[in-house]
Chains A and B, each alone.
Chain A
Amino acid sequence: MKITGLLMMPAGLFIVLAAVVLLRTFLAQNLFVAAGIGVEILGLVLFTRSHLMAKRGNE
Chain B
Amino acid sequence: MSPPSPPAISDLTQAFCLLFIFLLPLALAGLALINTGLSRSRSAAHSMMSTLCVIGVAAAAYFVTGFAWEGYSDLPSHTVSIFGKQWSLLAAGHFFLRGVPLNGSCDSLAALFQLMGVGLAAVIPLGAAAERWRLRACCVSTALLAGITYPLFAHWVWGGGWLKQLGASYGLGLGFLDAGGSSAIQVVGGLTALSLVWLLGPRRGKYNLEGMPAALPGHNTVLVLFGCILALVGWMGLNAAGSILLAGIPLGRIVLVAVNTLLSAGGAVLAAAAITRFRFGKPDASLSANGWICGLAASSAVCAFVPPAAALLIGLVAGALVTITVAWMEARLGLDDPAGAVSVHAIGGIWGILAVGIFPWTATALLPDSGTPAAIQSGQMLAQIVGVATLVGFVLPFTYSLNWLLNRFIPQRIPPDEERHGADLYELGAGAYPEFMTHTDEFSQW
Contacts and interface: CB of A to CB of B under 8 A. Distances in A.
Contacts of A22: 83
A48 B393 contact: no
B34 interface: no
A3 to B, nearest CB: 10
A52 B83 contact: no
Nearest to A13: B393
Contact of B201 (A13, A30, A44, A55): A55
Tell me what chain B mostly uses at the interface: helix, strand, loop, or mixed. helix
Tell me what chain A mostly uses at the interface: helix, strand, loop, or mixed. helix
B198 A9 contact: no
Given A52-B334, A55-B202, A36 B394 contact: no
Contacts of A7: 397
A48 B386 contact: no
Interface in A1-28: 6-7, 9-14, 16-17, 20-22, 26
Contact of A48 (B83, B333, B390): B333
A20 B385 CA distance: 11
Given A10-B393, A13-B389, A40-B389, A33 B334 contact: no
B382 A51 contact: no
A21 B83 contact: yes
Contacts, number: 69
A42 to B, nearest CB: 11
B81 to A, nearest CB: 12
Interface residues of B, number: 27
Contact of A29 (B201, B382, B390, B400): B382
B207 A59 contact: yes
B215 interface: no
B390 A13 contact: yes
A4 to B, nearest CB: 12
Given A6-B397, A9-B396, A59-B207, A17 B334 contact: no
A6 B389 CA distance: 14
Given A13-B389, A52-B333, A30 B202 contact: no
- Considering residues A9, A11, A36, A37, which has the most beta carbons from chain B within 10 angstroms of its beta carbon? A9
Contacts of A6: 397, 400-401
Interface of B: 82-83, 85, 166, 170, 172, 198, 201-202, 207, 209, 211, 333-334, 378, 382, 385-386, 389-390, 392-394, 396-397, 400-401
Given A9-B393, A14-B393, A40-B392, 17 more contacts: A6-B397, A9-B392, A9-B394, A9-B396, A10-B393, A11-B393, A17-B386, A20-B172, A21-B83, A21-B170, A26-B378, A33-B382, A36-B389, A48-B333, A55-B202, A55-B334, A56-B334
What are the 3 tightest A-B residue pairs by CB atom distance, in nearest-first order?
A13-B393, A16-B389, A9-B393
Interface of A: 6-7, 9-14, 16-17, 20-22, 26, 29-30, 33, 36-37, 40, 44, 48, 51-52, 55-56, 58-59
9 contacts: A9-B394, A12-B389, A16-B393, A20-B166, A37-B385, A40-B389, A52-B334, A55-B334, A58-B201
